[in-house]
Structure 1
Amino acid sequence: MPISVIYFYLRRPDVTPEHFRSYMEETHVPLIKEVFEMHPPQSLRLRYIARVKTGAGDRLGAVTSSRGRADPDAPVVLVGSPEDVDWDAIGEMVFRDELHVQQCLAVMNGPGGQRIKEDEETIAITEKTRLEVDGILGYVNETKHNGHWLLSEECAIYYQYS
């Protein structure tokens, strides 16, 4: 049964949302792919929260919008408050089964994992990084592209390994 590991990243305050996203896509994800070369996840997906300055809040009538004079870098929320959002990106790695997860954990407990951790420290508040396991993914075989509800295509990147 496929297993999904979900992780939440919170960028450092001195890092802009734009720099965070470009760093994740151009530096961090390639490092992950390199480190997991022998046992790569079946897929890796990153989602970024939409920001007020994108206009998504205006189009959706959200509380956090430029019309509401919100901070341009504030996250767009439909319910709740921007202060409740404690992440800038959500990642999802899908693995074949428990053995596949264990193989990747073995990599993470070695020098490759240390490289990933050190890289994350340059861009994220690692004390706030969370990882969660979701074992049932009925949508994995059905959803290859933008299968999740997103505010725009710009909010997600998707890497298919197989």
Structure 2
Amino acid sequence: MPYSILFFVTRKQGISMEEFKAHYENIHMPLLKEVAGPHFPLAHTRRYIHRAEGGQAEGTTRNASTPAQVLLGTQADFDYDAIIELTFASEAAFKEFFQFVHTPEKAARVTSEEDKFIDRSLMRGVLLGEVVTTKNE
């Protein structure tokens, strides 16, 4: 059974959503693939929150001019900018990845680079349980 983890990632103040996405895709992902090598997850899925430039956000100073397109809840519920899902073949594969990328040299490279565009103090992560999908067939 796949082993999946979700991370909720917030961009640093002063970085636009476009800059955040470009940095994630063009700098961060190649670095992660290089650092993780053969331990890279089966999938590293990035889902970016859709933000409307120049809008009025309620209850958030962080995204006052770039509100999320909230369907249910409030702006404050969606102050992060991306939901990242890492999928591994197994818990053992995740543990190998984690140990490999958290050696001092590798961890320092990733952390140093993340500090350029991610507010690490706001990052959150959670292990997913069972995943059930219903399809329209």
Q: Same fold (TM over 0.5)?
A: yes
Partner of 1:15: 15
Per the normalisation by structure 2, the TM-score is 0.83
Counterpart in the other structure of 1:46: 46
What is the match of residue 122 of structure 1? 116
Farther-moved stretch of structure 1 (110-119 vs 71-80): 71-80
The structural deviation recorded for 1:137 is 3.5
RMSD: 2.5
2:126 corresponds to 1:132: yes
How do residues 84-123 of structure 1 correspond to structure 2 at under 5 angstroms?
Answer: 84-110=77-103, 111-123=105-117
Q: What is the TM-score normalised by the length of structure 1?
A: 0.71
What runs of 5+ residues in structure 2 fail to find an aligned partner? 58-63
Cross-structure match for 2:5: 5
- Taking a change above 3 Å as real, the CA distance of residues 135 and 101 of structure 1, as seen in their structure-2 partners, is farther
Displacement over 2 Å in runs of 4+: 135-139
Letter in 2 for 1:118: S
Matched, 1:81 2:101: no
Give deviations 1:15-72, integer Å, cap 9, x for gaps. Answer: 011100100000011111111112110011001011124xxx9xxxxx97xxxxxx65
Write the distance in 2 (CA, Å) between the matches of 1:88 and 1:52: 12
- 1:153 corresponds to: none
Matching residue of 1:159:
none
- Residue type at the aligned position of 1:21: K
**Deviation (angstroms), 1:83:** 2.3
Matches of 1:84 and 1:98 in 2, distance apart? 30
Aligned mates of 2:40, 2:129 — CA distance in 1: 18
Partner-residue secondary structure (3-state), 1:38: helix
How many residues were matched structurally?
129
Whole-Å separation in 2 of the counterparts to 1:138 and 1:42: 19
Gaps of 5+ in 1: 58-62, 65-70, 144-162
User: What SS does structure 2 have at the residue aligned with 1:104?
Assistant: helix
Letter in 2 for 1:89: A
